[in-house]
């Protein structure tokens, strides 16, 4: 996997570059991982609803073809775009999402934070009262007799979202990706329903007491993704 650090990258230019890479790649093209951060903007996924954007103000809103609903990007957030051939890797989309989430969980563990999955809500969450707690969530994904337990409405009680996922798969090839909040202005999240959930609190490493640099967090996340995503 070729890892490229793009720095502060224009969102639309990066999106168009990902699409071009995906369309032009061949069976021999190496997989890639692009790491960057963006200037402030909201992105709206394919499932996005206009009424989840409450008061955007002057912040641009960009419609995209990724999955999911509305989220915010800004400086101090590590954005990772894995560009994989899943057919060559030998696993399916559900496994791909699991591996991305696992990479985020292990990145957080590096900083002494325990990341959690919430049933029915992709992304990674932390306990607000005790970010290092390993106690399992009652609302975690579970299986009963070989099938997953259904949760009609995700329960975010006592939790903050620290990493969001929004992916696109075209002909078994992935683009878009994930965003990990490190040390950023979180106020713009209060002007949307993050990922379509009213009242969902968004946090970053800084607000839960972890003081690190964007570069260190990006390096740890890059390493974990490079380990977890290959076949």
User: Could you list the active site residues?
Assistant: 195
Judged by DSSP in three states, 21 sits in: helix
Helix (H) or strand (E) holding 103: helix 93-110
In whole angstroms, give the CA distance from residue 228 to residue 231. 8
Residue 224: strand, helix, or coil: helix
DSSP 121-184: EEEEEEESS-TT--PPPTTS--EETTEEPP-SS---TTEEEEEEEEEEEETTEEEEEEEEESS-
């Amino acid at each position: 996997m070729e890892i490229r650090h793009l720095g502060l990258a224009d969102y639309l230019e990066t999106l168009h570059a990902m699409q071009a890479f995906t369309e032009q790649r061949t069976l021999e093209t190496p997989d890639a991982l692009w790491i960057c951060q963006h200037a402030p903007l909201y992105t709206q996924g394919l499932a996005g609803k206009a009424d989840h954007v409450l008061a955007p103000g002057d912040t641009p809103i960009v419609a995209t073809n990724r999955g999911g609903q509305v989220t915010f990007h800004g400086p101090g957030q590590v954005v990772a775009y894995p560009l994989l051939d899943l057919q060559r890797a030998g696993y399916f989309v559900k496994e791909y999402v699991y591996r991305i989430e696992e990479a985020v969980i292990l990145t957080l563990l590096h900083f002494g934070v325990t990341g959690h999955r919430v049933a029915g809500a992709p992304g990674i969450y932390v306990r607000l009262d005790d970010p290092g707690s390993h106690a399992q969530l009652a609302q975690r994904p579970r299986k009963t007799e070989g099938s997953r337990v259904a949760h009609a409405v995700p329960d975010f009680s006592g939790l903050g979202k620290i990493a969001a996922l929004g992916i696109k798969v075209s002909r078994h090839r992935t683009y878009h990706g994930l965003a990990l909040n490190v040390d950023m202005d979180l106020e713009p999240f209060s002007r949307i329903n993050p990922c379509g959930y009213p009242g969902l609190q968004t946090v970053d490493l800084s607000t839960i007491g972890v003081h690190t640099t964007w570069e260190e967090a990006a390096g740890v996340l890059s390493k974990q993704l490079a380990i977890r995503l290959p076949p």
